[in-house]
Amino acid sequence: MAASLPSQCSSLCKINGEERDESIKKVERSYERYRELISTLPNGKGWAFDLCLYEGFWYERLFGLEGIMFAQEYFQARPTNVFLISTPKSGTTWLKALIFAIMKRTCYTNSTHPLLTTNPHECIPFLEFRLFREPPVTDVEKLPSPRLFATHIPYMLLPKSILCSGCKIVYVCRDSKDVLISLWYHMAKMRSKDLPPLSLEEGFKLFSKGLSGYGPFWDHVLGYWNASMECPQRFLFLRYEELKKETSINVRRLAEFLGQPFSMEEERERVVEEIIKLFSFKRLSNLEVNKNGSLNAFTKSDVFFRKGEVGDWSNHLTTQMAESLDQITNEKLHEFRLFREPLVADVEKLPSPRLFASHIPYTSLSKSILCSGWKIVYVCRDNKDELISLWPHMAKMRSKDLPPLLLEEALSCSLKMRSKDLPPLSLEEAFKLFSKGLSGFGPFWDHVLGYWNASMECPQRIFFMRYEELKKETLINIRRLAEFLGQPFSMEEEREQVVEEIIELCSFKRLSNLEVNKNGSRDAVVKNDMFFRKGEVGDWSNHLTTQMAESLDQITNEKLHASLPSQCSSLSKINGEERDESIKKAERSYERYRELISTLPKEKGWASDLCLYEGFWYERLAGLEGIMFAQEHFQARPTDIFLISTPKSGTTWLKALIFAIMKRTCYTNSTHPLLTANPHDCIPFLELRLFREPPIADVEKLPSPRLFAAHIPYTSLPKSILCSGCKIVYVCRDSKDVLISMWFSMAKIRSKELPPLLLEEAFKLFSKGLSWYGPFWDHVLGYWNASMECPQRIFFLRYEELKKETLINVRRLAEFLGQPFSMEEEREQVVEEIIELCSFKRLSNLEVNKNGSRDAVVKNDMFFRKGEVGDWSNHLTTQMAESLDQITNEKLHELMLFRQPPIADVEKLPSPCLFAVHIPYMSLPKSILCSGCKIVYACRDSKDMLISMWFYMSEMRSKELPPLLLEEAFKLFSKGKLNRVGRNAAHMGCDLVHNCWTLERTILSETHHSFHCSNPLSQRCDSGQLVSQSHLHLSPQLLFDRIVWWSGFQFTHEPMT
């Protein structure tokens, strides 16, 4: 076989060589055809070389035209390709660097980045200049995806494969005047020294006539502008001036368009700013490779870096030249809205449905709007808040050209900034103007009334909304809006909480904090932050006098009361009365609860007095009233999910995991609510948040499945929860860690007027059961017993097991919640992503959890301390720990999760049961041998068994004994045993293998139990998949005790379910 390979290899190389030669000849013949065609094209005088006209555009023959023709004929684009396209000297070099840095940001460090040693034109090569300029051409088919290319090819000359492939195109244009100046300098370096210098006047004339490489400039720009309007998902149209002015915003837009949006983590690490700083025009131009390097024998790298400034044309062009170019721009690009000229946008070309906004009064609407059947959404606001919001806004917009006395005209002016030389517009003056109706698009009341009357006459066309209602009941009104607009939310969208996503995405707080809205601008005058002040309802009360407020209310009554239909005021009255009655009813209930609480037994607590209710202790101000309200009024649904625990048992982390599991198809990792919201906001506490005090949350309006949390003991749960069939996840934690975590937490809540609570005092209170929702052990036992009776409804978790085997338990959680991970999700490592997203470390380092707060008292960082298992050992004395363990043994002797001598009641486990043992065949309980259960036995090479056992026993061996040598272990193993190794011993022998081999041949029937048998350490089984693997943690003596117990253990024979 080896001898025959060389001849095949050389034969293959020979064939490849012949094919390569033929390919080169074919390409050369193509280029000969192109040269013949080019020789017949119309010619014109150029900047450095003669130009030829091809399909409406001018080219320098030696610079790309042959490459364009080759690309048109042969280039095959892929859907994943990315193209950067521009006219020459439009900022291509800088944008190449930015795009390469965005797309490859995970591939290089800042110190090893290729752009530090390579010109950007090498990183993203030109299709026609570099790859296809002349034969032999580059074999671009071998380039991996996504391929990054650049080109100056006009839109109508693009290869068909690019137009049809679905690839993405970024186009950058620049002010024609700056393009001219940059091109003039560039061509001066390219022009032959035998020719006289090209004067600016000559360059201006050629450029104005369209005689420039890839010109006319305006036709080039317009082609891609129109394409971007028709297909914005494929074409991103950028202006160099905007990229320079708002680089951060546009880099984010670029990344999102290219399918590489910056994650929240990258935003926190300021990756965007690093890219901008690392590859700024100034830094790139100062790199050695760009100062003294070259692309080829003719082109030096420094020709691509001159100034990169906006408006440098003003240092070169005469006023006449500039006006002439602006006139051409207006004539050629009058449809192009990016050039802010008096010419209006051609809205006829916008695709349907078109979305517009307007402040035009109803009586001034164009007839086409009134007669077309358009839909109109009108929103009005309390006139007092309207005035207050309008006052600071108009103060910013006040004209610098008007004298101070013309306040009426100044207030209605919205296009010029108020002069700093003028005195501020006082609230009193603004109030007088507003009251007279002298405001932009005013009078306010006439504006509102016009649309109100129209909405009454034609409600199917005009949707009338109040800002206050939209703020208060956003969820309901968003659904109403969607229905009115003909886009109602489907049941699937409701299940996926699309409405909530929209509300979160568009929240006033989030929008106002976006970079584009904080630092962006509409134009040179209007800044984006002017549109975001407070957005609050009733803020007028912080500014208006009582007399002002009453005056505005009186005008409202006079203007609107007589005209508005009686049914409207009647409806408002009914809604108000119903709402008030609902609040009063809740307040009466809470008064009853407070009276009852005042009669309950009380004891000294951790931060305040505790009161005893239904066998458990509560802090009155923290949940007890809410529990009573829930018991009386809460109606659970079968689809509800509850996370329940004692305080400080890992609730915050588990909330995050459950929310991420249930909502994993709703958000991306970069837009997940858990990155900006505390887990307690995602899954609210029933008694502590929703029902804490009136007015209470209307949980009936929440879509299913609803996610709630509670600390309520099992015996105090509302009956509707017990009877509804909803699912409950309960998490418990080692009592010692709970005590320490609670002690630290309560120290932050405890009044500063009280002396600090000593750990010894907290220990005594906790041991007596005097803790929040305590006694701890009764709380745990209640849910443990319930989980044994109804395991399909109550999922019992230990925090320690969740920490140790997170992956396994997240899968178990998902399955229990009815959202198991699919095979595809497993392949895409969705489980691992959720664990990473919700890791205690990541959550605790998020800004919202470090510096956010629940209310004036509770800060979010209180929910994140260490999250470690066993941290109690750093605080409790041995006596304290033993005392708590003793209480645990006494109280929870039925709870098998606490590994104590009382054995687990495995009879209560649902079928099929999965067990694992190391018991030799002859020691198996008779019930196993006779029941017909199935056994899987794993054996291993004895030599590997010995080595694995030796390492394992070395770790288990007492430190008081000398290390066990491999030779000693070998002798013991060879004799079929390991003698006492410190306090550990184990049974081993080849007979175990033989007997279980015999057993395997005798098992024929099928029942409801399955066993995994093995030699110790022959295979480390996934303990989370089994009901119990305590043998991995027990000493051999305890293992022997279990063997004795097993021999009396009886199994019942029943069919597998």
- pLDDT per residue as tens digits for the range 108-119: 888 888 988 888
539 and 636 share one domain: no
Question: Does residue 786 sit in the same domain as residue 704?
Answer: yes
Q: What is the 3-state secondary structure (H, E, C) of 907-972?
A: HHCCCCEEEEECCCHHHCCHHHHHHCCEEEEECCCHHHHHHHHHHHHHHHCCCCCCCCCHHHHHHH
pLDDT tens column, 668-679: 777 788 888 889
| Domain assignment present for 707 | yes
Query: Which comes out higher in pLDDT, residue 470 or 860?
Result: 470
Residue 858 maps to a domain: yes
pLDDT over 90 (residue 1031): no
Of the residues 811, 830, 863, the one at which a domain ends? 863
Query: Shortest CA distance to 292 belongs to which of 414, 131, 485, 117?
Result: 117
For residues 358 and 377, give the distance between their C-alpha atoms in angstroms, rounded to a whole number.
10
R_g of the chain computed on alpha carbons: 38
Identify the band that residue 325 occupies on the pLDDT scale cut at 50, 70 and 90: very high
HSE-CB for 805 with a 13 A CA cutoff: 14
Same domain flag for 752 and 802: yes
pLDDT at 101: 93
1010 pairs with which residues across the strands?
Answer: 914, 934
Task: Choose one of 811, 845, 863: the last residue of a domain.
Answer: 863
- Reduced to 3 states, what is the DSSP secondary structure of residue 378? strand
Q: Which has more pLDDT, 417 or 290? A: 290
| Shared domain check, 516 and 436 | yes
Which tens digit of pLDDT belongs to each residue from 448-466? 988 888 887 777 788 888 8
| pLDDT at residue 1034 tops 60 | no
How far is the C-alpha of 264 from the C-alpha of 268, rounded, in Å?
A: 6
Does any domain span residue 838? yes
Instruction: Determine the average pLDDT of the residues in 947-966.
Output: 81
**Do 373 and 321 belong to one domain?**
no
The reply to whether 901 falls in a domain is no
Nearest-angstrom CA–CA distance, 229 and 137: 34
In a domain, 51, yes or no: yes
Q: Are 728 and 793 in contact (CB under 8 A)?
A: yes
pLDDT of residue 993: 43
963 vs 157: which has the higher pLDDT: 157
SS3 state at 296 = coil
Q: What is the pLDDT of residue 319?
A: 92
Q: Which residue has the higher pLDDT, 562 or 148?
A: 148
In a domain? residue 414 = no
Mean pLDDT of the chain: 79
Question: 267 and 128 in one domain?
Answer: yes
Q: Is the pLDDT of residue 76 over 80?
A: yes
Query: Does 792 lie in the same domain as 660?
Result: yes
3-state secondary structure of 168: strand
> At 861, phi and psi to the nearest 5?
-70, -10
Question: Does 598 fall in a domain?
Answer: no
Q: What is the mean pLDDT of residues 804-811?
A: 92
Confidence of residue 1019 (pLDDT cuts 50, 70, 90): very low
Residue 961 falls inside a structural domain = no
Q: List the catalytic residues.
A: 711
**Residues 313 and 195 grouped into a single domain:** yes
Say what the pLDDT of residue 408 is: 35
Distance of alpha carbon 526 from alpha carbon 216, whole angstroms: 34
Indicate the pLDDT class of residue 339, thresholds 50, 70 and 90: very low
| Higher-confidence position of 292 and 1 | 292
Reading the block at residue 478, the tokens are: 């968003």
pLDDT at 703: 80
Do 213 and 178 fall into the same domain? Answer: yes
Within this chain, do residues 330 and 393 fall inside the same structural domain, yes or no? no
- Domain identity same for 440 and 304: no
Overall average pLDDT of the 893-916 stretch: 64
Q: Quickly tell me which residue has 């901008």 as its tokens.
A: 276
Which domain range does residue 199 map to? 25-336
Pull the structure tokens for residue 7.
């001849």
Instruction: Assess whether pLDDT exceeds 70 at residue 881.
Output: yes
Q: Are residues 506 and 632 in the same domain?
A: no
- End of a domain among 823, 841, 863? 863
Q: How many structural domains comprise the chain?
A: 3
1052: confidence class by pLDDT, cuts 50, 70, 90? very low
Question: Does residue 583 carry a pLDDT above 70?
Answer: yes
Residue 77: predicted pLDDT: 95
Q: Which residue has the higher pLDDT, 581 or 338?
A: 581
CATH number of the domain enclosing 747:
3.40.50.300
How do residues 719-752 score in pLDDT, each as one tens digit?
Answer: 999 998 899 999 999 999 999 999 988 877 777 7
Arithmetic mean of pLDDT, 341-358:
69
